[in-house]
Amino acid sequence: MSVQGLGYVRISATDLAAWRKFAVDTVGMMPATAPDGSLWLRVDDRPFRFVVEQGSADRFLAAGWEMPSQVHFTACVEGLRRAGIAVRDGTADEARARCVNAVAMASDPAGNAFELYWGRVRAYDNFVSAVGVSGFVVGDLGLGHVVLPAPQLDETASFYKSLLGFGDTDEMRLAMSPDPAVPELRLQFLHAACRRHHSLALIPMPAPSGLIHTMLEMREVDDVGRALDRCVAAGYHISSSLGRHSNDGMLGFYVATPGGFDLEIGCMGVTPDWNTWVPTRSLIPSIWGHQWSPPPQ
């Protein structure tokens, strides 16, 4: 009983207009206003893929994991409860607000909140980007991915694999110093049932905003290049220059969002066949580019 893919991301914001300027005017998502006044952000035929809720802090709230059916949803929730995990059944109003049939809420061993849901409605008007993005790669691959803080790396990865059906895609081990006595940084990349290389990655470090980064894939490399130009022109901090990752082949860059976490904008990610995939161990994060720069103080 496996998660199908990343369905949505919930974000708390002190300034919805700042998010709208970033996500709509700069990245190229399509806005809508939720019945409760939240900012819905579309990238495909779903009513939203990001929901930005008015709040007292700028932070990530939760990942919404899509289950392929009611049977999978129910079995997964029961499995979590059998394992002693506290799961709250979402109310009918909460399911309606997410445009899904049913939703349940829980947290992983690192304290990252997540939601499971099944069923959906669709938006019937075409996705249109006001700044000319030709399209986002979503559909059967799910929204993209989230990279979550998980100081308890092994316990958290085991949780997602044993209780939510994720599988190993890649384990990245990065040398943090020429001194071999300094421990490597180990990252876990996990896939859902869909063919996205990883819908979830875990890094053993804290993240004050609740999220290391989330990723959106665009159709064309020129979409990515033009998005980079718009981010630079609008003055957003470019956390990493253009580069191509060693494991998922994603060509893109990272930009700091108003939420205190990064958004990776990329293209050309690989789509493995899980029947023949052998999990990899990557020794470098990127085959070129990705020069990182810390956020301005």
* Site residues (vs Fe ion, CB under 5 A): 215, 264
CB of 258 to Fe ion, least distance (A): 19
CB of 254 to Fe ion, least distance (A): 8
CB of 94 to Fe ion, least distance (A): 28
Closest to Fe ion by CB, 99 or 187? 187
Closest to Fe ion by CB, 115 or 264? 264
What are the distances in angstroms from CA 281 to CA 1, 186, 233?
Answer: 26, 10, 37
Closest to Fe ion by CB, 38 or 282? 282
Closest to Fe ion by CB, 8 or 254? 254
Closest to Fe ion by CB, 72 or 191? 191
CB of 241 to Fe ion, least distance (A): 15
CB of 215 to Fe ion, least distance (A): 4
